[in-house]
Structure 1
Amino acid sequence: MNDQLTILQTAAVALLKQLIATPSFSKEEDKTALLLETFFTGRQIPVQRIGNNVIVRNKHYDPGKPTLLLNSHHDTVKPNPQYTRDPFAPDVEEGKLFGLGSNDAGGCLVSLAASFLYFYEHKGPYNVIFAATAEEEISGTGGIELIINDLPPIAAAIVGEPTQMQMAVAERGLMVIDCVSHGKAGHAARNEGENALYKALKDIEWFRSYQFDRVSDLLGPSRMNVTVIETENKAHNVVPAVCKFVVDTRINECYTFEEVLEIIRAHVDSEVLPRSTRLRSTSIALDHPLVKAGSKLGRTYYGSPTTSDKALMPFPSLKMGPGDSARSHTADEYIYVKEIEDGIALYIQLINEVQNG
């Protein structure tokens, strides 16, 4: 295995350098999708392309067997304005591979791709499918959500995100809420009207101070933060009739989105309009074969405060990958080459444990 592992590690790093050098902002991932397609077709592996999503199946795929999905994304955010390096230059210095998307989630993506290659010709008890997906950074509908119905039934998934190869077994849900406070316009000099901004402040204070009762052992309490506020009029002497504000809501697995909305509407006077209820909190059972295999390999588990494509998967999924979440979206982003090499080896061990369990 050592020679094969070295070849896979080298191929993965080379692929990541190509991906870094190719801009792939969300909804603009066609060129990196082509790179990934070529990576597999060049190895005589048939590719299914749906939009900017690239899907490959193990050689001896058997619909009668359970299927393990390996998934990560190949889109990136725009470069942080504080970059001091060329974000598209895949330079290696002191063991660090620099470049936009190197850590989030390029290192995970190529590590899972290499792990798929390792199992491509195996005839184990599980099928293995690899899916490189688009639009994860914007929670778009053209990514994992687009291909779910084209995948076979999935028994479980490994979602590649930078977790230092520890196991994120739960994720907070994300619900963005638009709130609208209504008043009545009037002339500020005559103290006329009903100030919608002042009415909004009362509700904002409630969002700031409210504490949810149910606290998760993995994710802690649910939280709400008001992040944007605006009025429609721009004149200084007009009392605003409408004030809008946005609430970023991070919800643990103890509450449904519907329960949270019910609580909010019972306490505020503003209109409460959720933008989406797609990105729900998720968790995988601690006795699931993936988690048990990871524990056997010395991996720890935790609850993740961030969301990923895991939130859109209607089957058990474990978030785990090389790199560090703290580096994501930062200037001069990087991942250690050794993190990728070790990540591939550990992914292979993890999948072997599940296959042999």
Structure 2
Amino acid sequence: TPPEEARNAIVAAAEDVLRLREFDWGPIHPRLGRAHANITIIQGGIAHNVIPDACEFCLDVRTTPLESHAALFARLNEFLQSELTVRSDRLVPVETPEDSPIVRAASAAAGERPPAGSPTMSDMVFLAGTPAVKIGPGQSIRSHTPDEYILESELIEGAAAYIAIIRSYFSAAGETMT
């Protein structure tokens, strides 16, 4: 095939990557917003003078409880030209009802701060329906970054929050703690 007629796999992948800006990521969750994705890896080509016949990219998709992985995958599969493969579908979004005792305890300990959502992965997904909250020291914006860190003052504040949540949770259940 003459070079001007050859299909360039990198160009085809790039077109799909750009099309993702136009994709409808579904309904807006009140705490998490919409599902979203980021291209985290792209690989293609074998030499500077060979038109690439293959290109792969990794789409890190973060979903919400409002749409199943299967439904979102089906919509993405129809929208994009690329062949899609699910790497893992076991990490589903989870949500704990606001009237759950653990949420009430965390809210009481947080004081003025209202409950919020987190678009990042946590071990909550493995608790199989057990009411849980995700809380930790530091600022979420620094999570999953190359230089992730927390300040000593944030660690101390976080430990105090854990104690307050535990006390609130057990006092609501009629237990006393010393």
**TM-score after normalising by structure 1:** 0.43
Equivalent position amino acid for 1:229 in 2: I
Question: Unpaired runs of 5+ in structure 1?
Answer: 1-185
In the other structure, the counterpart of 1:354 is: 169
Shift of 1:322: 2.4
1:343 corresponds to 2:158: yes
Shift of 1:273: 0.6
Match for 1:222 among 4, 27, 35? 35
Tell me: CA distance 1:347–1:333, structure 2 relative to 1, closer, same or farther (3 Å).
closer
In the other structure, the counterpart of 1:201 is: 14
In the other structure, the counterpart of 1:313 is: 127
Greater relative contact order (CA < 8 Å, ≥ 6 in sequence)? 1
Shift of 1:327: 4.1
The two structures, once aligned, show a CA RMSD in angstroms of: 2.3
**Amino-acid identity (%):** 30
Q: Which runs of 4+ in 1 moved over 6 A?
A: none
Instruction: Report Cα offsets for 1:197-251 as digits up to 9, x if no partner.
Output: 2322332222122122311001001112223322242142x32221211212111
Shift of 1:332: 8.6
Question: Unpaired runs of 5+ in structure 2?
Answer: 173-178
C-alpha contact 2:16 2:81 (8 A) present in aligned 1: yes
Instruction: Report Cα offsets for 1:276-310 as digits up to 9, x if no partner.
Output: 11221111110000111222331521011222222
The equivalences for 1:121-160 within 5 A come to: none
Greater strand percent: which structure?
1
Tell me: CA distance 1:200–1:342, structure 2 relative to 1, closer, same or farther (3 Å).
closer
C-alpha contact 1:282 1:311 (8 A) present in aligned 2: yes
In the other structure, the counterpart of 1:303 is: 117
Which protein has the larger Cα radius of gyration, Structure 1 or Structure 2? 1
Equivalent position amino acid for 1:283 in 2: E
Tell me: CA distance 1:187–1:334, structure 2 relative to 1, closer, same or farther (3 Å).
same
Match for 2:44 among 228, 231, 248? 231
C-alpha contact 2:32 2:119 (8 A) present in aligned 1: yes
Tell me: CA distance 1:330–1:271, structure 2 relative to 1, closer, same or farther (3 Å).
closer
